[in-house]
Chain A
C-alpha cells in the first residue's frame, strides 16, 4: 500500500503543486490520478519515487517512509513508465529492458534472459530485442517502457501518462494489455492521466485533483460517476457521465429471448449459427453481436443502431444465444444508475 499523510509540495518559485494530501492507494489495485494540467497529479506520482521531494508530510510505500531510504535504491524497487517512454536511444531494446536488473548487480546473461522473457510478456516479438528504440513504433516503444519498468519485478508501478502520445486505436490496445497484465501480476499501480475515459477504464479507484494541488474526491469509478462530490467533479467527468457509468456495467443480467422470425427484418446467420447481418426485402444492415462481458453502454449503442431495436447476443464462440430488446436494455441501464446512486 502507498500512503500519503498531509503531504505538501511547494516549488521554489512559490507555486503550490500539492496541497495537504492524504491518500491511500490500495495494494494490488490501479489508482488513477486524474485532473487538468497543473493540478499536481504528476508531482504526486513523482514524490512516490522521490523524483520530487515533498516539502512536508510523509509518504510510505509498504509501510516504509520513502525519504528515509536511499533514493536510487528506492527507485530500483519501483517501476517507472513515462509518457515518451524515455528509452535509451543508444541501447538495444533488450538492454533497455535489462536496465534495472543490471543496476541491481545481476550478471548480464541473467539480465538479458529476464529481458527476453519480458518482451513476450508485453506482447513484442523476440527479434524486437535486437532493435534500437527508434526502429519501433510509438506503441511498441511504450510496451518496451512497460517491460523495462517490470524487469526487476517491483511490487509498485508508477505510470505517468504512459499512453498519452499514441493514437486512440493503439491506446485502447495498450489499455487492454495493461488490464490483462494486471490480472496476472497484481501490481500496485499508480497511473496518471488527464483522460477521464482512460481513468474510468483502468482505475480501481480514481483520485480527482483540482488546480492548486487539491484532491477533490477519491472513489471507485462507479461511485465517482454516480455520486460526484461536487460540481467540479461532475463537470470534469463530463455531460455523458451517465453513459460512462454504463460502460462499467455488463450485459450479463439483461434477459434475452429467441430471435424473431418473419418480421420485416430477419437476423441472417451462417451454418454455425453466427449472426451475419440484418436483412429485409430490399436491404441489408450490419449487426454487431455482443457477449455477456460487453458493457451496457455498447448494448445501448447497438440497440439504437439495430433496425429492430434488438441486440444479438452470442456465446464465447460467436454463436447466437438470443436477442435482447431495447426496452430491457434501457430498463437495466436505468436500474444500474439508480442502484449506483442510492448505494451507501
Chain B
C-alpha cells in the first residue's frame, strides 16, 4: 500500500509525465475543454428554460422532476447509445455530458427564481416594470446566487464524468484511467482518478469563493 502511494506520488510529480501530447498538462487541457464546452452548451439550454419556467410559473413540474431524472440518467449508457446511433465522434460524449448538466442548471435556476420575495416582484410590477424588465432587472439578479450554484454543481459533475471521453477513444484525464486499466497499471489508474478529483475540488472551491465575493452585499 505504501509502495503504491509512493509510486503514485512519483507518477504525479515527475516532469516527463507532464509534458508531451500524452502528458498530464495536455490531458488536463483536453479535460477542461470538454467540461467547459459541455457546461456552456448545457447553460445555453438550461438557463433560458429555468428562467422561463420561474418567470411564468408554467411547467414547474418539469423543473422539479428534471432533478431526479438527471440523477437517474445512466451516463455511460447514453454515450454508448448515441455512439451506436451516430458513430464515433465526440458527439456522444457531449450529448451525455450536456444531458447530465442541464437538470442541475434548470432546477437551481428555477429554485432561485421561486425564492425571489413575492413582495419584491409585486413592487417591481407596481412601479411600472414590464415583464422582461421584472425578469432581467429584479428576478434574474436576485436568483443569481442560486443560478451560479447550479452552474457550479453542473460543472463539477461534468468534470467528474468527462472521463468517459476516453472510453470512446478520445482524450482527457480519463485516458489514464482507461489506459491504466487496459495495461493493468494501477498507478496510472489511480493517478488519473486523483487528478480528476483534484480538478473538481479546485474548481468547486474557486467558484464558491467567487460566489462569496460577488454576493458579499447579500443578506442570506
Q: Give residues in A with beta carbon < 8 Å to B.
A: 49, 51, 72-77, 80, 82-90, 99-100, 103, 132, 134, 148
Contacts and interface: CB of A to CB of B under 8 A. Distances in A.
Given A90-B142, A132-B217, A75 B126 contact: yes
A84 B219 contact: no
24 contacts: A51-B122, A51-B125, A74-B128, A80-B127, A83-B119, A84-B117, A84-B119, A86-B119, A86-B120, A86-B124, A87-B120, A88-B123, A88-B124, A89-B218, A90-B142, A90-B217, A100-B128, A103-B127, A103-B128, A103-B129, A103-B133, A132-B217, A134-B219, A148-B127
Given A80-B123, A82-B122, A103-B133, A89 B219 contact: yes
Given A72-B128, A86-B120, A89-B117, 18 more contacts: A72-B129, A75-B128, A80-B123, A80-B127, A82-B126, A86-B117, A86-B123, A86-B124, A86-B126, A87-B123, A88-B123, A88-B124, A89-B120, A89-B218, A90-B141, A90-B217, A90-B218, A132-B217
B130 interface: yes
Given A86-B120, A90-B218, A75 B125 contact: yes
A88 B138 contact: yes
Given A89-B142, A90-B142, A82 B127 contact: no
Contacts of B122: 51, 82, 86
Interface of B: 117, 119-120, 122-130, 133, 138, 141-142, 217-219
A75 B123 contact: no
Contact of B126 (A49, A87, A90): A49
Given A88-B138, A90-B142, A90-B218, A100 B127 contact: yes
A103 B125 CA distance: 12
Contact of A76 (B117, B120, B127, B219): B127
A49 B123 CA distance: 12
B130 A82 contact: no
Given A72-B129, A90-B218, A100-B128, A82 B123 contact: yes
Nearest to A149: B127
A51 B122 CA distance: 8
B216 to A, nearest CB: 11
Per CB-CB distance, the 7 closest pairs between chain A and chain B, nearest first, are A86-B123, A76-B128, A75-B128, A80-B126, A86-B119, A134-B219, A84-B119
A86 B129 CA distance: 14
A77 B128 CA distance: 8
B130 A72 contact: yes
B146 to A, nearest CB: 13
A72 to B, nearest CB: 5
Contacts of B219: 89, 134
A236 to B, nearest CB: 27
Nearest to B126: A80
A89 B126 CA distance: 16
Contacts of B127: 75-76, 80, 99-100, 103, 148
A21 B141 CA distance: 40
B27 to A, nearest CB: 41
B117, B123, B125, B130 — which one has the most chain A CB atoms within 10 A of its CB?
Answer: B123
A87 B126 CA distance: 12
B135 to A, nearest CB: 13
A72 B119 CA distance: 17
A154 to B, nearest CB: 10
A338 B141 CA distance: 60
A121 to B, nearest CB: 18
A182 B122 CA distance: 25
A102 B155 CA distance: 37
